[in-house]
Structure 1
Amino acid sequence: MTNLKNRAMGLITIAALIGSFSSFFGLGTKGHPLPIWFAICVVAFVLLILACVTYILSPNRDWRFGPDPKGILAMQDYEHRILWAAAKGMVRAVDENAGEIKKRARVFFAGVVLLGFEAAFVVAASISAR
């Protein structure tokens, strides 16, 4: 999940850079000011990507990080049974978290697609403005 969150931060960084440096791609020069429709579209792309990133980075209160320590401490048995219970708890936590990770991965993919559309839009607008 940490890797997905790091990638999400990179996603919004790249989206903001594309928006900020779009004038370097040939738009918004002195002779040809940046069209308002272009600015609105770029801001919309950045906001949509920001919404995706915000969802990915938002904390999840129901997140499971491993076995229940109370259950392990309650066991008064041999060491291998405690290790077995801990391993089963970790497997259960991974299974419970898998659905949420998949949802956030789908949102990340949507953000990547939006980023591609933003980049294509900026390039297309730059070409058509010439």
Structure 2
Amino acid sequence: MGGNGDTGTDAAADGSERYKLAYEAAVHALNQQDGTLGNLRNRGTGLVTIATVIGSFAGYFGLGTKDKLLPAGYAIGLIIFIVLIVAICMFVLMPKRDWTFGPDAQDIMESKYSAPNGELYWSQALGMQKAISENELAIRKRAKAYAWAVVLLGLEAVYVVTVSLLSR
């Protein structure tokens, strides 16, 4: 073999290690995506809570009172903000079909490959890489939706302050 002392067994072991490393990297990437999605969902829940609290307080305590109710036009505007924010956050919160966050145990059990030569790691890494790409697109869509919900929340707050000043 060459002057570097490599043998065929060393090359096979090197390939097997590379496959295992690719598998572990894919598992790690899927775990990170799972965490990212969980964070987006938690933040989406928080936005819904904040939007409804702003609406509740503005509608009864901030702008309207027992004696002077919030004018209907202003109330409808406030309701529209809340509905839009909740609808967008529902998109972020809803589960996605065929979502993958790890290796498929069923696929491993049914695989034609065996673990010793690393091909099983390689086939699972390839499958997870496809899932990583698909998940990434879905996460980006949800992140953009979340960003729009944040903008709407800011606009809701500006709307409440503006209405408060105009109704005095």
Taking structure 1 as the reference length, the TM-score comes to: 0.86
How many residues end up aligned between the 2 structures? 129
Change (3 A) 1:72 1:79: farther
CA contact (8 A) 1:56 1:107 kept: yes
Taking the TM superposition and a 5 Å limit, the aligned residue runs for 1:45-124 are: 45-73=81-109, 74=111, 75-78=113-116, 80-124=118-162
Q: Which of 61, 69, 84 is residue 24 of structure 1 equivalent to? A: 61
Residue 2 of structure 1 aligns with which residue?
38
| Residue 87 (structure 1) shift | 3.4
User: What is the rounded CA distance, in whole Å, between the counterparts of 2:139 and 2:165 in structure 1?
Assistant: 39
User: Over the residues paired in the alignment, what is the CA RMSD in angstroms?
Assistant: 1.9
CA contact (8 A) 2:115 2:121 kept: no
User: What is the rounded CA distance, in whole Å, between the counterparts of 1:101 and 1:43 in structure 2?
Assistant: 28
Residue 42 of structure 1 aligns with which residue?
78
List alignment gaps of at least 5 residues for structure 2: 1-36
CA contact (8 A) 2:41 2:92 kept: yes
Q: Which has the larger radius of gyration?
A: 2
Taking structure 2 as the reference length, the TM-score comes to: 0.68
Which runs of at least 4 in structure 1 moved beyond 4 Å after TM superposition? none
Q: Which moved more, 1:56-65 or 1:103-112?
A: 56-65
| Residue 60 (structure 1) shift | 1.3
